């Protein structure tokens, strides 16, 4: 976790305080259920709630763990210091450490998902606003980095919206993947604890009881979760790369907002660099790097080995914190992005009229010229623009073979920008409903 790429809300989910609080709730609810089933005395279950308002002492627990070398035992020992060792005797009964640890991890991931969903909502809102704002702002579409045909800035935002909307659905599905709890004992047989305890605790904590667990909750769930975050990160990179391209000196169709006090470079004071989107490109790599170890974590030995644990201690917080930060940074960039419609027009007209070549090609074939010949005619005039800076329309009007097939008015009509934007509303309806 790198402080400069972190937001406090997400960091708090992964604090020891939060973790111990969740452990406590699991143990306390489990005692309630055990009392209800008559396994332990109701008075002892009730006694556990005495610690309801306690903020657990992380340093003290660490101290105990230094001796026991076992974190859950350390916590239980500390808990007994609060509620009395006699009443604490029934806490954790029939449970195994992983019942607590795995259920807690999933609760943390669910909470993290909720924050990520909120971040995604902010990104979507920003994209939607900017899409409508620039629905009709004409801009050259590019394939291979080369001018192709006109499109609009609104369509660019709209496609990022659609992509992020898919990511929102994936995120919600990922949240469901890990919204399970397990209290099933040492190897998942419920030998020492009734399945109803699991059901009760899960219900209280808004989880689904894991269909079948071993000592642990199966890690294919977590693999799917982190794989999904990796996809989302790649979409963030996708938007970031688009903005970085737009801010290139030669293109300059948009710029990240540049605040008054900010210095672009220690050496070159004129510079305004797309540092936020470059940073997002790097953050995307960081989020993505959790995917492979999460996949490698699936094949645990028999009913469990603990190799996944150190991986999750790192990628659990690091990946969700980084993605959370990235979503909000992205939202901020989109919300405040400075857009230059006049530069978009300037760029589009760089090769006068050339971007209309396909329309002319089509018109020629529709006027009865063979596809091969049409292609040849268009390309021959296009090359004059490309190589000598000629005006495409002028060249076409002067080409006898072209004018044999198309009237000047017909040629003229092919250069109408409205032709390219006529379905924008249709597409917006598809995207925004």
* Residue 55 near its own copies by CB under 8 A: no
* Residue 293 near its own copies by CB under 8 A: yes
* Residue 422 near its own copies by CB under 8 A: yes
Distance CA 394, CA 376 (A): 17
Binding segment (CB under 8 A) for its own copies, from list 53-61, 109-117, 248-256, 400-408: 248-256
Backbone angles phi, psi at 181, to 5 degrees: -130, 160
Residues in the chain: 433
Distance CA 305, CA 316 (A): 18
Provide, rounded to whole angstroms, the least separation between the CB of residue 242 and its own copies. Answer: 7
* Residue 118 near its own copies by CB under 8 A: no
Residue from 12, 118, 292, 404 touching its own copies (CB under 8 A): that is 292
Residue from 59, 302, 388, 400 touching its own copies (CB under 8 A): that is 302
Q: Are 432 and 128 in contact (CB under 8 A)?
A: yes
Residue from 6, 18, 129, 309 touching its own copies (CB under 8 A): that is 309
Q: Which of 17, 83, 98 is nearest to 48 (CA)?
A: 83
What three-state secondary structure class fits 281? Answer: helix
Provide, rounded to whole angstroms, the least separation between the CB of residue 54 and its own copies. Answer: 20
Binding segment (CB under 8 A) for its own copies, from list 52-60, 72-80, 110-118, 334-342: 72-80
* Residue 379 near its own copies by CB under 8 A: yes
Q: Are 237 and 244 in contact (CB under 8 A)?
A: no
> At which residue do the structure tokens 């001018």 appear?
147
Map the footprint of its own copies across residues 184-223, applying CB under 8 A. 185-192, 195, 209, 211-215, 218, 220-221, 223
Q: Which of 307, 311, 287, 290 is nearest to 299 (CA)?
A: 307
Using CA of residue 305, residue 217, residue 121, residue 430, what is the dihedral sign? positive
Annotated catalytic residue, options 15, 70, 85, 265: 265
* Residue 398 near its own copies by CB under 8 A: no
Provide, rounded to whole angstroms, the least separation between the CB of residue 392 and its own copies. Answer: 8
* Residue 295 near its own copies by CB under 8 A: yes
> At which residue do the structure tokens 């300037």 appear?
346
* Residue 407 near its own copies by CB under 8 A: no
C-alpha distances out from residue 397 to 33, 71, 348, Å: 86, 82, 21
Q: Are 133 and 154 in contact (CB under 8 A)?
A: yes
Residue from 235, 333, 406, 411 touching its own copies (CB under 8 A): that is 235
Q: Which of 72, 31, 26, 14 is nearest to 202 (CA)?
A: 26
Provide, rounded to whole angstroms, the least separation between the CB of residue 130 and its own copies. Answer: 15
* Residue 33 near its own copies by CB under 8 A: no
Residue with Cβ nearer its own copies (53 or 193): 193
Catalytic status, residue 265: yes
The β-bridge partners of 151 are 139
Binding segment (CB under 8 A) for its own copies, from list 52-60, 104-112, 119-127, 278-286: 278-286
By rule CB under 8 A, what count of residues binds its own copies?
163
Provide, rounded to whole angstroms, the least separation between the CB of residue 308 and its own copies. Answer: 6
Binding segment (CB under 8 A) for its own copies, from list 28-36, 45-53, 67-75, 330-338: 67-75
Residue from 12, 37, 43, 306 touching its own copies (CB under 8 A): that is 306
* Residue 96 near its own copies by CB under 8 A: yes
Binding segment (CB under 8 A) for its own copies, from list 28-36, 50-58, 141-149, 402-410: 141-149
Binding segment (CB under 8 A) for its own copies, from list 42-50, 116-124, 308-316, 333-341: 308-316
Name the strand (E) or helix (H) holding 141. Answer: strand 138-143
* Residue 388 near its own copies by CB under 8 A: no
Q: Are 328 and 7 in contact (CB under 8 A)?
A: yes
Distance CA 352, CA 373 (A): 23
Provide, rounded to whole angstroms, the least separation between the CB of residue 168 and its own copies. Answer: 12
Site track 255-274 with its own copies (rule: CB under 8 A), x = hit: ----x-xxx-xxxxxxxxxx
The pair of three-digit structure tokens given for residue 90, joined into one six-digit string: 């029934």
Q: CB neighbours of 4 closer than 8 A, spacing ≥ 6?
A: none
Q: Which of 288, 285, 278 is nearest to 329 (CA)?
A: 278
Distance CA 133, CA 129 (A): 6
C-alpha angle 69-207-74 in degrees, rounded to nearest 5: 15
Residue from 247, 330, 393, 411 touching its own copies (CB under 8 A): that is 247
- Residues involved in catalysis: 144, 265
């Amino acid at each position: 976790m790198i402080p400069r790429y972190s937001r406090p809300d997400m960091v708090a989910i992964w604090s020891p305080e939060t973790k111990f609080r969740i452990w406590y709730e699991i143990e306390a609810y489990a005692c309630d259920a055990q009392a209800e089933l008559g396994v332990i005395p109701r008075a002892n279950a009730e006694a556990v709630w005495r610690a309801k308002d306690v903020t657990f002492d992380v340093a003290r627990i660490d101290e105990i763990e230094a001796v026991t070398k076992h974190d859950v035992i350390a916590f239980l020992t500390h808990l007994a210091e609060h509620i009395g060792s006699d009443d604490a005797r029934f806490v954790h009964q029939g449970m195994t450490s992983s019942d607590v640890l795995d259920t807690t991890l999933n609760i943390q991931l669910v909470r993290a998902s909720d924050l990520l969903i909120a971040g995604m909502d902010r990104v979507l809102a920003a994209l939607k606003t900017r899409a409508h704002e620039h629905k009709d702002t004409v801009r050259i579409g590019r394939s291979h980095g080369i001018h192709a045909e006109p499109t609009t800035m609104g369509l660019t935002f709209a496609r990022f919206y659609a992509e992020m909307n898919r990511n929102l659905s994936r995120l919600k599905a990922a949240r469901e993947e890990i919204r399970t709890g397990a209290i099933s004992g040492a190897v998942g047989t419920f030998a020492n604890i009734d399945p109803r305890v699991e059901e009760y605790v899960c219900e209280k904590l808004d989880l689904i009881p894991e269909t079948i667990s071993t000592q642990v909750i199966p890690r294919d769930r977590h693999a799917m979760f982190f794989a999904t975050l990796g996809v989302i990160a790649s979409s963030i990179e996708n938007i970031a790369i688009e903005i970085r391209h737009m801010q290139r000196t030669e293109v300059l169709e948009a710029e990240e907002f540049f605040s008054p006090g900010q210095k672009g470079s220690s050496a070159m004071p004129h510079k305004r660099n797309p540092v936020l989107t470059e940073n997002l490109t790097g953050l995307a790599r960081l989020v993505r790097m959790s995917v492979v170890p999460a996949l490698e974590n699936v094949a645990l030995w028999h009913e469990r080995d603990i190799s996944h644990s150190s991986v999750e201690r790192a990628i659990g917080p690091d990946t969700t914190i980084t993605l959370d930060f990235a979503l909000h940074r992205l939202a901020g960039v989109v919300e405040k992005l400075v857009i230059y419609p006049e530069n978009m027009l300037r760029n589009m007209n760089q090769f006068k009229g050339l971007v209309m070549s396909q329309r002319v090609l089509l018109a020629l074939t529709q006027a009865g010229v063979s596809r091969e010949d049409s292609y040849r005619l268009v390309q021959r005039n296009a090359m004059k623009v490309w190589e000598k800076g000629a005006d495409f329309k002028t060249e076409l009007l002067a080409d006898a073979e072209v004018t044999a097939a198309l009237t000047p008015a017909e040629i003229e009509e092919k250069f109408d920008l409205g032709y390219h934007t006529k379905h924008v509303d249709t597409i917006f309806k598809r995207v925004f409903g």
